[in-house]
């Protein structure tokens, strides 16, 4: 039976026009979880219209919060003593649920959060999160599929050296340390703009944090935090996706609310491919008038090339002039998407964490399937430059990260329907 959850794309359009970037998924979900740190009503603006926001809202509601969403604004009213259990039925839908762990253990003294499990991009452990909370004095273990962390007498600051600058682990440690006694130093911390946004949110609640955006973050614990109002930063991965779409389709897209400083390396790579990128009053404009040149890319933690744009780079190289090598250094199995791209005629061979790509002049439409958010977006970009029709099944993955993607693509001239 035909799936009803798909994008249908007829390739060939050059995308032209204007898009506006919404708030970042990878920021807003963390801000929502961190609102648990202060009793009372916190307001978050520039909230994107994506399903994961509703899942986090359900999770917070189950913990006793009153959550009201009004278009791009959300208020979260946090009770004196929130619940402490995040159940599997919600956590399994969205890995960012793990971000309630740090706030709950320090505020309530106990947290039980279901293990999110692996997903289509790799195994994604939690060992750094657990070790970090233990260093702050929590007792943490895994039992019956849950991380159980307890700190009945509170947490105490410590020096924590992360083996890898994990975004999620840095966030959980930081959101616990803000209410711990004394000073916490996180070495080899993640530097992603989403994490800086979370840090600034916490500072606006009264937290004492220094070194955001650098590899060493110093947090001096305070006794309480107050509710705040905060605007989510614009989504740099969606910005990057539109920039790749402009280049691949030889189009001209003005991306409003784009923060070029969060995408230095990807924009530099697109310039190498031949794009003309200029600043506008509130964003950037990306133009392309020829076949892109192949680009070699290695993903790395920020400020390196973002792993979330890996499918877009591979899709671009699939139709680029020349041979390229793309290396994935963050997640172990992000290349699953390559099999789908090969169905469109891409010439790619994978060896461990390297993909070797020979650009072809044109791809040809075929049925494919999205396995995760970013792979889905990469396949849609490939479909835009494929001859004929491509259907992308399991489209809900894309909806999780890209609000109204089909409508926005249509506005830019693409022949896309969402079924």
Catalytic center residues = 119
The site for ligand UD1, by CB under 6 A, has a size of 21
400 binds ligand UD1 (CB under 6 A): no
- Applying CB under 6 A, the span of 122-130, 197-205, 210-218, 386-394 interacting with ligand UD1 comes to 122-130
CB of 90 to ligand UD1, least distance (A): 14
CA angle 246, 251, 252 (to 5 degrees): 85
Distance CA 44, CA 202 (A): 12
Tokens of 199: 């840090």
CB of 52 to ligand UD1, least distance (A): 8
CB of 300 to ligand UD1, least distance (A): 9
Residue from 166, 228, 239, 249 that binds ligand UD1 (CB under 6 A)?
166
Residue from 61, 81, 164, 323 that binds ligand UD1 (CB under 6 A)?
164
DSSP-derived letter for residue 97 is G
Site for ligand UD1 in 174-213 (CB under 6 A): 192
Tokens of 102: 């740090």
Residue from 57, 65, 91, 96 that binds ligand UD1 (CB under 6 A)?
96
Distance CA 225, CA 206 (A): 5
Residue from 252, 308, 369, 399 that binds ligand UD1 (CB under 6 A)?
308
Residue 347 neighbours by CB under 8 Å, 6+ apart: 318, 357, 358, 359, 360
DSSP-derived letter for residue 121 is T
- Applying CB under 6 A, the span of 40-48, 166-174, 199-207, 410-418 interacting with ligand UD1 comes to 166-174
Q: Are 31 and 230 in contact (CB under 8 A)?
A: yes
Residue from 14, 26, 97, 239 that binds ligand UD1 (CB under 6 A)?
26
Residue from 55, 104, 294, 330 that binds ligand UD1 (CB under 6 A)?
330
Distance CA 346, CA 327 (A): 17
235 binds ligand UD1 (CB under 6 A): no
Residue 407 neighbours by CB under 8 Å, 6+ apart: none
Bridge partner list, 278: 285
Give the torsion sign (CA, 263, 265, 268, 273): negative
Interface positions with ligand UD1 (CB under 6 A): 26, 95-96, 122-129, 164, 166-169, 192, 307-308, 330-331
């Amino acid at each position: 039976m035909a799936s009803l959850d798909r994008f249908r794309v007829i390739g060939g359009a050059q995308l032209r026009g204007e898009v506006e970037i919404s708030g970042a998924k990878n920021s807003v979900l963390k801000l929502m979880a961190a609102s648990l740190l202060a009793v009372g009503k916190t307001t978050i603006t520039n909230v994107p219209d994506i399903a994961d926001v509703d899942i986090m809202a359900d999770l917070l509601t189950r913990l006793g919060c009153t959550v009201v969403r009004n278009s791009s604004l959300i208020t979260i009213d946090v009770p004196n003593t929130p619940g402490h259990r995040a159940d599997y039925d919600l956590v399994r839908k969205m890995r960012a649920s793990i971000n309630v762990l740090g706030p709950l253990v320090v505020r309530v003294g106990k947290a039980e959060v279901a293990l999110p499990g692996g997903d289509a991009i790799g195994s994604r452990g939690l060992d750094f999160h657990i070790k970090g909370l233990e260093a702050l004095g929590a007792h943490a273990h895994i039992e019956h599929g849950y991380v159980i962390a307890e700190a009945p007498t509170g947490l105490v600051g410590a020096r924590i050296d992360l083996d890898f600058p994990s975004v999620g682990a840095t966030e959980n440690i930081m959101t616990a340390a803000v209410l711990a006694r004394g000073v916490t130093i996180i070495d080899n911390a993640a530097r992603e703009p989403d994490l800086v946004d979370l840090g600034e949110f916490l500072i606006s609640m009264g937290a004492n944090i220094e070194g955001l955006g650098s590899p060493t973050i110093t947090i001096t614990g305070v006794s309480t935090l107050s509710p705040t109002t905060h605007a989510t930063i614009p989504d740099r991965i969606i910005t990057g996706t539109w920039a790749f779409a402009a280049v691949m389709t030889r189009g001209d897209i003005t991306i409003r609310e784009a923060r070029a400083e969060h995408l230095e390396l990807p924009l530099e790579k697109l310039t190498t491919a031949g794009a003309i990128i200029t600043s506008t009053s509130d964003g950037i404009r990306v133009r392309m008038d020829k076949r892109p040149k192949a680009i070699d890319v290695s993903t790395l933690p920020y400020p390196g090339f973002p792993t979330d744009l890996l499918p877009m780079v591979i899709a671009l190289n699939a139709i680029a002039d020349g041979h390229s090598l793309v290396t994935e250094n963050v997640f172990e199995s992000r290349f699953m998407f390559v099999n789908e791209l090969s169905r469109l005629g891409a010439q790619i061979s994978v060896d461990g964490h390297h993909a070797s790509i020979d650009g072809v002049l044109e791809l040809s439409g075929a049925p494919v399937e999205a396995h995760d958010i970013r792979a889905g977006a990469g396949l849609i970009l490939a479909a835009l430059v494929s001859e004929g029709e491509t259907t992308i099944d399991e489209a809900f993955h894309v909806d999780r990260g890209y609000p109204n993607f089909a409508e926005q693509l249509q506005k830019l001239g693409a022949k896309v329907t969402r079924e």
